[in-house]
């Protein structure tokens, strides 16, 4: 701001006392260690000891705002003189500048003792940033929850500003209501979703404040967690909830519901959607569908695990009433992989045909035998209800692979252990045979030792 607009105010400060103080300072700076000041100057020094302070570069001082312009701030520093803040030193702490008014007391750091206009150049940035970091550390140590505005967004999260310090709210620290659920994890779609939050205010808590690295990290999830702790305590395993599908992704389905008028959200993992195999959750539900689900887990990170399939009886418990080992069954091939194909026998029971169970000569060309949508007659060669597994074969003379039941395990542990450790690729039968072969050999060896012992005697 031009000097003529402040000339009167500056002149008011240049009182006779002020002039005397300046002369006093000049005098004291010329006195050596073995000299002392005497006379009127000495009396003035005793009367105004606080005025004898000589300011230094980098010192933080307190003053009162004299005048505020669009790009400058003039500060009354009392006996020191008049300070001015402008340029980068002003706008680097734009929050303090915007909210300041004439008469306010502020702190600033001395950048230059006497510029070309005769003012003491000050910086709001240095002083205010130190105070800001102190305040942020205090908030973090006290687990304080506060409100902050979202300034910007990137693909990793949201940008915020607290007391002039820029901070970051990672996607992983967003509360369930704001977490961007995007099918396939498309980063562009995630950014578009995050960008919608710019201008909104979130309640957050500081989880990291490192001044040396200029690193400020906040969490909305931690803030909400404090408020939701009691509510989550009411969600024990087995609780049945009613809600609506709020998101469908490749790894499962999100369901939004309420407990004590509080909005909550849980995840139904793809493995908990149905008893049969599910490749695409979107084939079963869509956003907006009303569902009932069972709570199967709640952790301290606000993750609520839900299950849709556990709302209905497990069809595999009665699979023995429908299918038996050796049965000829008709099924539809619905998925083909490099190790075989998945076959739909009915709405609830699906089976697997391993590549080793294809007809002779076709094992190297799955596509010629297993075609999606085609129906074929298969032979059931293994049935494991507890593991939800049913093995099929297209071979003319397949080898059956019935698992040994638990009752038999206690009777013949050595033989049964070999059977349970086998794989479904055709080696199970061979391993079992080896185990059976080892048993009689062991008996023969024992019989041979007896006569040898008698001979020794």
Is 408 inside a domain boundary?
A: no
Crossing angle of the two packed helices 40-47 and 16-29, in degrees rounded to 10 = 110
- 11: pLDDT strictly greater than 70: no
**Domain finish residue from 267, 292, 311:** 311
* Residue 300, pLDDT score: 64
Which residues, in sequence order, are bridge partners of residue 210? 215
Query: What average pLDDT score do residues 290-308 get?
Result: 86
The residue with greater pLDDT, 264 or 401, is: 264
Task: Tell me 448's DSSP state.
Answer: H
Does residue 205 sit in the same domain as residue 246? no
Q: Let me know whether 270 and 331 are in one domain.
A: no
pLDDT cut 70: percent of the chain above it: 72
**Statement to judge: residues 178 and 122 lie in one domain:** no
In a domain, 417, yes or no: yes
324 lies in the same domain as 388: yes
pLDDT-based confidence at residue 15 (cuts at 50, 70, 90): very low
> So what's the pLDDT on residue 421?
34
Q: What is the mean pLDDT of the chain?
A: 76
Whether 399 is in a domain gets the answer yes
Q: Is the pLDDT of residue 443 over 70?
A: no
User: The domain that contains 69 carries what CATH number?
Assistant: 2.40.50.140
Which residues are CB-neighbours of 76 under 8 A, at least 6 positions away? 9, 13, 63, 64, 65, 66, 82
Residues 307 and 319 in one domain: no
Please check whether residues 100 and 175 belong to one and the same domain: no
Q: Is the pLDDT of residue 337 over 60?
A: yes
Closest CA to 194 of 204, 215, 179, 216: 179
d(Cα 168, Cα 219) in Å, to the nearest integer?
9
Last residue in a domain, options 165, 192, 225: 225
Q: What is the pTM of this model?
A: 0.51
Across 62-76, 225-239, 411-425, the highest mean pLDDT is recorded for: 62-76
**Residue 136 domain flag:** no
Query: Are 24 and 110 within one domain?
Result: yes
| Number of domains into which the chain is organized | 5
- Take residue 157 and report the two structure tokens written for it: 């999260």
pLDDT at residue 404, rounded to an integer: 43
**C-alpha neighbours within 13 Å on the C-beta side of residue 257:** 24
**At residue 186, does pLDDT exceed 70?**
yes
Would you say residue 435 lies in a domain?
yes
How far is 387 from 146, CA to CA, in rounded Å? Answer: 49
Q: Is residue 215 a part of any domain in this protein?
A: yes
* Residues spanned by the domain of 427: 413-457
* 370 and 420 assigned to the same domain: no
Is residue 379 within 8 A of residue 346, CB to CB? The reply is no
Is 169 within a domain? Answer: yes
DSSP 106-156: EEEEEEESS-TTSPEEEEHHHHHHHHHHHHHHHHHHTT-EEEEEEEEEETT
């Amino acid at each position: 701001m031009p000097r003529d607009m402040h000339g009167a105010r500056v002149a008011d400060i240049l009182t006779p006392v002020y002039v005397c103080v300046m002369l006093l300072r000049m005098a004291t700076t010329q006195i050596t260690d073995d000299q002392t000041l005497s006379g009127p100057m000495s009396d003035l020094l005793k009367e105004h000891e606080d005025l004898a302070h000589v300011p230094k570069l980098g010192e933080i001082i307190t003053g009162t705002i004299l005048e505020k312009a669009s790009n400058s701030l003039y500060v009354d520093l009392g006996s020191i003189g008049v300070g001015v803040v402008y340029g980068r030193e002003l706008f680097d702490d734009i929050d303090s500048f915007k909210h300041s008014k004439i008469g306010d007391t502020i702190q600033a750091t001395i950048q230059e003792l006497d510029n070309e206009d005769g003012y003491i150049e000050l910086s709001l940035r240095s002083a205010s940033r130190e105070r800001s970091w102190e305040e942020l550390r205090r908030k973090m140590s006290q687990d304080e929850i506060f409100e902050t505005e979202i300034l910007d967004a990137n693909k990793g999260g949201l940008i915020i500003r607290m007391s002039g310090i820029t901070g970051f709210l990672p996607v992983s620290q967003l509360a369930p209501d704001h977490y961007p659920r995007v099918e396939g994890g498309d980063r562009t779609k995630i950014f578009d979703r995050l960008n919608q939050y710019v201008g909104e205010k979130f309640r957050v808590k500081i989880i990291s404040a490192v001044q040396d690295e200029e690193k400020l990290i906040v969490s909305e999830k931690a803030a909400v967690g404090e408020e939701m702790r009691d509510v989550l305590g009411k969600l024990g395993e087995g609780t049945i909830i009613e809600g609506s599908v709020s998101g469908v992704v490749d790894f499962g389905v999100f369901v939004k519901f309420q407990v004590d008028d509080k909005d909550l959200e849980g995840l139904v993992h793809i493995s908990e959607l149905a008893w049969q195999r599910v490749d695409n959750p979107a084939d079963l539900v869509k956003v907006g569908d009303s569902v009932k689900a069972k709570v199967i887990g709640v952790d301290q990170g606000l993750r609520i695990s839900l299950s849709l399939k556990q709302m209905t009886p497990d069809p595999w418990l009665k699979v023995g009433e429908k299918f038996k080992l050796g049965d000829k069954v008709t099924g539809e091939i619905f998925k083909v992989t490099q190790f075989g194909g998945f076959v739909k026998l009915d709405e609830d029971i699906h089976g697997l045909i391993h590549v080793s169970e294809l007809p002779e000569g076709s094992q190297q060309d799955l596509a010629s035998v297993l075609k999606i949508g085609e129906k074929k007659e298969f032979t059931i060669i293994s049935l494991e209800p507890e593991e939800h597994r049913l093995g099929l074969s297209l071979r003319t003379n397949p080898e059956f692979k019935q698992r040994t039941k638990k009752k038999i395990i206690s009777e013949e542990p050595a033989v049964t252990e070999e059977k349970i450790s086998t794989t479904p690729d055709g080696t199970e039968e061979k391993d079992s045979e080896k185990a059976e072969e080892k048993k009689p050999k062991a008996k023969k060896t024992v019989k041979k030792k007896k006569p040898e012992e008698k001979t020794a005697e």
